[in-house]
Amino acid sequence: MDLSQEELKKINDLHNTARFQHSWKAIRNIITWKERVQHYFARNMLLLFFCFLFGGGLMLLTDEGTLSHSILLDKIMMLLVRLGIFFLALHILSVLLYSLIGPGWEAKQRAKLRKLYECDILAPILQILYPSSEIDTEHDMSPNNVKEVVPISEYYIQSGILKLNDERDLQAVDLYAYSVIKGIDGYDDVTDFLGQVYSIKNTFSLKGELRIVPTEHFLLFETQGSYPGTMQDGKKIDVEDIQHNEHYNIYCTNEQSTRKFLTPTVIEWFNNMTSDCKFSFYSNESQIYFANYNDRYSFAVPKDKKSLKEWRIEDAAIKLKYAFYFANEVTEMLHKNEGFS
């Protein structure tokens, strides 16, 4: 997916503005802060090492008679000893100070980094592509509803909410869901979901609750992983399409409405989705949620110096455009579903 010439020009103009460059510099400083701290400690250790090395060397050479005693030599040795003590004390104090305030300060900086990137970098790009859009960094997409459409997990970390503010009330977030398990060498994070979750208003005639989740086959067994199953007062149903039954499980509380929704067009669309991603779908009376488990972030801030160097404003814009192109495909499928909308 490419940007139009007009979009490309506006994005490059944005990149050259003083405000954008100022924000990008602030982001770069936060990302490279830990590396600068490491360089600071390494420099102190190196200076301490050289002080003791040269001081000890001069003392040894003097004791062996290679160098004769002199007032200048004594002053140099005393200076090296004092410098060594100073750098040792400085290093100890720095380590203690970092151990006390470092972890909390890093957590604050990470939160600041995400907000700075989403508000000052991502939001202006998004507004070029979709002028009425905004990014809400203060709230999460409804956690209870998000859990209906992604695998059951212990922890759910969302990006800010990207809102198009259109007639569909289309919203999107990056979501990382993970669990912590005890391994041989300690505790490990296990990824349950990494991708995007979307929501739109349910302006269709779909009644009750409906959940469609992807399945996988191992030998003769079918599994839907840790995706949630049937809801309260709901049941699992099958459709006539064999391929759909093999790749998805369907749960609903209103079978008549669900079967009306699952037209051949919709079923074929779901079948096509299985080759591209793990797609899941959930709807209630007011909202529709769908998730794209693609093992990647679309809206995330660069995480280290390497990704910072590789970041390009055109690539960020294309990721945004593709994310909403995917959402548009889903909503277009719903609208084209004759006899349903």
Are residues 12 and 120 both part of a single domain?
yes
Are residues 145 and 288 both part of a single domain?
yes
Are residues 202 and 167 both part of a single domain?
yes
Q: Say whether pLDDT at 101 is over 70.
A: yes
- Residues 219, 220, 226, 232: what is their CA dihedral angle, to the nearest 10 degrees? 170
Q: Say whether pLDDT at 337 is over 80.
A: no
Percentage of the chain beyond pLDDT 90 is 45
Residue 230 inside a domain? The answer is yes
Longest distance between any two alpha carbons in the chain, whole Å: 103
Higher pLDDT, 48 or 282: 282
Are residues 141 and 284 both part of a single domain?
yes
Confidence of residue 276 (pLDDT cuts 50, 70, 90): low
d(CA 176, CA 194): 5
Instruction: Round the average pLDDT of the chain to a whole number and report it.
Output: 85
Residue 322 inside a domain? The answer is no
Residue 159 inside a domain? The answer is yes
Are residues 263 and 174 both part of a single domain?
yes
pLDDT at 31: 85
Are residues 54 and 164 both part of a single domain?
no
Partners of 251 in the β-ladder: 211, 236
Instruction: Calculate mean pLDDT across residues 262-288.
Output: 83
Partners of 179 in the β-ladder: 190
* Domain containing residue 225: 133-300
pLDDT at 296: 92
Q: Say whether pLDDT at 341 is over 50.
A: no
Taking the CB of residue 255, how many other CB atoms lie within 10 A of it? 14
Residue 258 inside a domain? The answer is yes
Which residue, 91, 126, 161, sits at the end of a domain? Answer: 126
Quote the number of domains for the chain.
Answer: 2
Q: What angle do CA 207, 176, 323 make, to 5 degrees?
A: 65
Q: What is the pLDDT of residues 204-260, one digit of tens each?
A: 878 899 999 988 777 667 788 889 988 888 999 888 765 666 788 899 999 998 888
Contact 229, 249 (CB under 8 A): yes
Q: Which of 121, 109, 116, 119 is nearest to 161 (CA)?
A: 119
Percentage of the chain beyond pLDDT 70 is 93
Confidence of residue 195 (pLDDT cuts 50, 70, 90): very high
Which residue, 84, 106, 126, sits at the end of a domain? Answer: 126
Instruction: Calculate mean pLDDT across residues 14-34.
Output: 90
Confidence of residue 157 (pLDDT cuts 50, 70, 90): very high
Q: What is the pLDDT of residues 290-323, one digit of tens each?
A: 999 999 999 999 888 889 899 999 999 999 999 9
Confidence of residue 93 (pLDDT cuts 50, 70, 90): confident
Q: Is the dihedral of CA 58, 62, 66, 70 positive or negative?
A: positive
Are residues 115 and 203 both part of a single domain?
no
Which residue, 73, 100, 126, sits at the end of a domain? Answer: 126
pLDDT at 9: 94
d(CA 111, CA 120): 14
Are residues 170 and 277 both part of a single domain?
yes
Q: Which of 288, 282, 277 is nearest to 323 (CA)?
A: 277
pLDDT at 55: 75
Q: Which of 82, 92, 123, 95 is nearest to 37 (CA)?
A: 95
Q: Is 216 exposed, middle or buried (0-12, 13-18, 19+ CB in 10 A)?
A: exposed
Residue 218 inside a domain? The answer is yes
Q: Say whether pLDDT at 163 is over 90.
A: yes
Q: Is 160 exposed, middle or buried (0-12, 13-18, 19+ CB in 10 A)?
A: buried
Residue 341 inside a domain? The answer is no
